[in-house]
Amino acid sequence: MSLILSKEWLKAAYLDLENISYIIKAEHLTSIVAFHSQQSIEKSLKAFITSKNIDIPKIHSLNKLFNICKEDVSINNNDLINLLDSLYIESRYPGDMGLLPYGKPTLKDAKEFYDFAENIFEHICSILNIPIYEIKTN
C-alpha cells in the first residue's frame, strides 16, 4: 500500500514539474516557478517518507522533510533547500511572493530551481525503483 501512495505523491510532484515546463521561459512567472519547484520537492520527499511507512508530517519545510530522509536521500545543495524553504513561506503573503533577498528570481534562478526539483524527483524515483515513465503516463 505504501508504494501505491508513494506513486501518488510522485505523480503530484511530476505535475508541478510539468507546470514549470510550460512557464520556465516567462520572466514574469519566475516566482511561480520557485513555488512549484518547492512543491515538487516537498511531494517527492513525502513520497519517500510514505515508502518507509512513516506518517507524513503536516509540514511544508523542506529542511525538516530532508531531515527525516537524510539517511537515504542525499542532497547536493543545502543553500537551495534553504532558499526554496524561505520562498515558500513568503509566498503566503502576496506582496512578498517569491522574492529573494535581492528581489524577484531571475530566469537563471528559475532554471536552477527547476533543475534541482527535477533532480530530486528523479533521485526519489530511482531510490524507490519506480520507473519515471510510470509516473508520467498515469
The 10s digit of each residue's pLDDT in 10-57 is 999 999 999 999 999 999 999 889 989 999 999 999 999 999 988 888
Task: Please choose, from the candidates 108, 98, 91, 115, the residue with its C-alpha nearest in 3D space to the C-alpha of residue 41.
Answer: 115
Task: Please choose, from the candidates 42, 45, 41, 38, the residue with its C-alpha nearest in 3D space to the C-alpha of residue 97.
Answer: 38
The 10s digit of each residue's pLDDT in 30-42 is 988 998 999 999 9
Q: Model-level pTM?
A: 0.89
Q: What percent of the chain has pLDDT over 70?
A: 88
CA distance 70 to 74: 6
